[in-house]
Amino acid sequence: MDTSKAECAFSGCENTALSFSRFCAQHLPEPQKQSELAQDFLAGSEDHSDICLAGITFSGINLEGHRFTDCIFDGAVFVDCSLEKSMIQGCFFSNARFENCRFSGCEIRYSVFCGADFRECDFQGSDILHSNFNGMHGFRVNFSDSDLYYSSFVTSHLEEVRFIDCNLKKVSYVNTRRDKVNFKYSNYEEAVFAAVQNET
């Protein structure tokens, strides 16, 4: 990875420091101010690249049309947030939690949402390409009218997730648990549902 992100200043901690602090979210001197400081930091621009806001909680924040490149949001929590029409490229949201968030009309490429938790989230009409949702848990998530080319949902748990009228070419659903998942009008025959067995 790049070398521009500093390590947390707390002795012995190897986490990446937050972009507005010398510390990581775990070692912030005033943790009760973390959301406010992070939201002020994001409010300064609509173009964010190479920033780290891992482990921060965002509530009711409007990031519509913002552009994120090579950013780290691992373990962050987003509640009632809008990321509509945003562009997310090469970003990390591993083990993040999203509740009642809107991503409609988004462009997401080469990004990682491994182990993330999505509840009542809307991605309708988005381009979500080459992105990794492995091990995610989705409850009432709407991906309808989206292009999901080459994205991956391996070992994810999908409950009442909608993929209506999507491009699912090369999308991997290997080892997924699916309850009431809707693939209507999508080319699910071009998606991958079973691991390829090597002949011995």
Which residues sit at the interface with Zn ion, rule CB under 5 A?
A: 8, 10, 13, 15, 24, 27
Q: How far is the CB of 12 from Zn ion (least distance, A)?
A: 9
Q: How far is the CB of 73 from Zn ion (least distance, A)?
A: 16
Q: Which is nearer to Zn ion, 95 or 134 (CB)?
A: 95
- The closest of 108, 120, 112, 111 to 95, measured between CA atoms, is 112
Return the half-sphere exposure (C-beta side, CA atoms, 13 A cut-off) of residue 166. 32
Residues in a beta bridge with 117: 97, 137
Q: How far is the CB of 70 from Zn ion (least distance, A)?
A: 21
Task: Please check whether residue 43 is in contact with residue 35, taking contact to mean a CB–CB distance below 8 angstroms.
Answer: no
How many C-beta neighbours within 10 Å does residue 177 have? 11
Q: How far is the CB of 78 from Zn ion (least distance, A)?
A: 21
Q: Which is nearer to Zn ion, 53 or 106 (CB)?
A: 53
Q: How far is the CB of 41 from Zn ion (least distance, A)?
A: 17
Place of tokens 């909680």: 57
Q: Which is nearer to Zn ion, 55 or 105 (CB)?
A: 55
Q: Which is nearer to Zn ion, 15 or 172 (CB)?
A: 15
For residue 5, what are the CA distances in angstroms to 49, 51, 179, 198?
11, 8, 40, 41
Q: Which is nearer to Zn ion, 54 or 116 (CB)?
A: 54
Q: Which is nearer to Zn ion, 22 or 169 (CB)?
A: 22
Own/partner contacts of 68-72, CB < 8 Å, gap of 24 or more, are 70/2, 72/5, 72/16
Q: How far is the CB of 98 from Zn ion (least distance, A)?
A: 24
- The closest of 55, 50, 47, 48 to 23, measured between CA atoms, is 55
Q: State the burial class of residue 24 (Cβ atoms within 10 Å of its Cβ: 0-12, 13-18, 19+).
A: buried
